[in-house]
Amino acid sequence: MAGNVLKRSASLVLATALLAAGPVFAQTAPTVQPSDNGQLPDREPSGRLVVILPDILVDLFDGAADGSARPGDSADLTDPAPVPTPNPGPGSPPPGDPAQASPANPPPSPLTAPQAVSGDFVPDEVLVTIDGDAQSVQDIAAALNLDIRSQRLSTLLGVTVVRYGIPDGRPVGVVLAQLAGDQRTLRREPNHIYDLQQAAAIVNYAFQRIALDSSAASGENVRVAVIDTAVDDTHPALSGVIAGTFDAMPGTPVEDRDHGTSIAGLIAGVGPFRGIAPGAAIYHARAFEGGKSTMDVLLAALDWAAEQDVRIVNMSFVGPRNDLLELGCMAARKRGMVLVAAAGNNGPKAPYGYPAAYDGVIAVTATDEKDELMPKANRGPYVFISAPGVEVLAPVGGGTDVVTGTSFAAAIVTGAITNLLHAAPDHDAGWIEEALAETASDLGDKGRDSDFGFGLMNTRAVLDRKR
């Protein structure tokens, strides 16, 4: 990814240049491998490698070996400590000049230390939630020399989300720190980038492994949201399956359809290819192209899903921890939505994958027909449950193919939960989580572990438990 290489190079050059110039923080954007309002939980392990120079922090990697705190941990949710305001130049108004301050034009806040930023992100954008009206959005842009690229009222967050562009090349961490000084901003986040979790790739063995009778499987009357690529809605497996669609990136031409077609088909496919929960109504949000999406797009898709009154949301993607996504997931869960996400395909030593690692999200890892773990699956205590995801038959544009990845394991768990809600629609998200944990077939170390979670999904045992 050329953009990430440029950002790494630029950060190293900047660090070298500033070594003699004085204290400042430099940032980079490490590449992510493809793969009520209370205190937010700190669930991600330490493990970031940083290079410490005199008064310079160069954040190079996602993980740290020295136990230092990671950007994105709960300790980072507070505003940076201010540093002294520089002396005003000739002709500048004196500090605190009342003629310069008004509600629409508040006095400038002290400069703050630039924030370190982890994960892959759009290099010239930030996302901000605003406590104010359209005029406030414009005033902030004018005060900090930012472009307003989009703004909308978030259904789940209940506030205005603004995507500001940075036209002058300032690092994202610097702009986030500058925004932290404006009391009209509530949250300030990078526009993080997220990846679909499809690994490189015969019979679909999933029904047998999760103990679900394919002839009795049904998701009728259950609404399921899928946030993914576009789908091939002409595919026979999706005939009558897609109940509603939303394009969260309308300005981007549609080229990718395979991943979304596979996910929707595995959940609710019909005809010759039978999904785990045929009869379910799929509400499909297109939010990925080229395997990539951004935080603003994903939040718009999640808001749309909430507006459709869906019971379940399938999120077969992974990216960095982001405060806005976490708040969106928390709000969705409070609405009673079951959230299912791919644990990630980045390997045993990879950092946690989000949104799977958030509380209230069911993190799914992938196993094969022998119930062995996919070698490149993420590990960690956030892994909740296992399901088939290695060499699983799935629909793709124009036919079917064998696919591998935690993306597809997540879709199978989403389909299984859809069966549970079809059989017992009054059960809530908390009951579903508890039932999955108590009935899973234990794999690996006894009890819940960082490889398999509670174990292999056992649909029959959950259905028996409801009675």
Map out the domains of the chain as residue ranges.
Answer: 2-73+110-194, 197-466
Please report where in the chains the tokens 């192209």 appear, as a residue: 289
Q: Catalytic residue, from 118, 139, 407, 451: name it.
A: 407
235 is catalytic: no
State residue 112's pLDDT score. Answer: 58
136 is catalytic: no
The CATH number of domain 197-466, selected from 2.60.40.1180, 3.40.50.200, 3.40.50.700, 3.90.105.10? 3.40.50.200
**Is domain 2-73+110-194 classified as CATH 3.30.70.2190?**
no
3-class state of residue 314 by DSSP: strand
> Is the four-CA dihedral 447, 450, 452, 454 of positive or negative sign?
positive
Q: Are strands 223-228 and 160-165 parallel, antiparallel or unpaired?
A: unpaired
d(CA 160, CA 246): 20
pLDDT tens for the 467 residues of the chain, in order:
444 434 444 443 333 333 333 333 333 333 333 334 344 444 444 443 333 222 222 222 233 333 333 333 333 333 343 433 444 443 444 444 433 444 444 444 445 577 788 889 999 999 999 988 899 999 999 999 999 999 999 999 999 999 999 999 999 999 999 999 999 999 999 999 999 887 665 446 888 888 888 888 889 999 999 999 999 999 999 999 999 999 999 999 999 999 999 999 999 999 888 899 999 999 999 999 999 999 999 999 999 999 999 999 999 999 999 999 999 999 999 999 999 999 999 999 999 999 999 999 999 999 999 999 999 999 999 999 999 999 999 999 888 899 999 999 999 999 999 999 999 999 999 999 999 999 999 998 899 999 999 999 999 888 888 55
Alpha carbon of 171 to those of 109, 165, 392, 421: distances in Å? 19, 11, 43, 47
Gyration radius of the chain's alpha carbons: 23
Q: Are strands 160-165 and 48-53 parallel, antiparallel or unpaired?
A: unpaired
CB within 8 A of 377, min separation 6: which ones? 343, 344, 345, 347, 348, 365, 366, 406, 451
d(CA 409, CA 2): 31
State residue 216's pLDDT score. Answer: 83
Please report where in the chains the tokens 């993420």 appear, as a residue: 378
Q: Which helix (H) or strand (E) holds 160?
A: strand 160-165
d(CA 42, CA 321): 11
Q: Catalytic residue, from 259, 284, 422, 427: name it.
A: 259
Q: Catalytic residue, from 73, 120, 124, 228: name it.
A: 228
Q: Which two tokens stand for residue 129?
A: 């939630």
CB within 8 A of 124, min separation 6: which ones? 165, 166, 167, 169, 172
SS3 string, 133-158, reads CHHHHHHHHHHHCCEEEEEEECCCCC
State residue 197's pLDDT score. Answer: 82
d(CA 348, CA 341): 18
State residue 467's pLDDT score. Answer: 56
Q: Determine phi and psi for 296, rounding to 5 degrees.
A: -65, -40
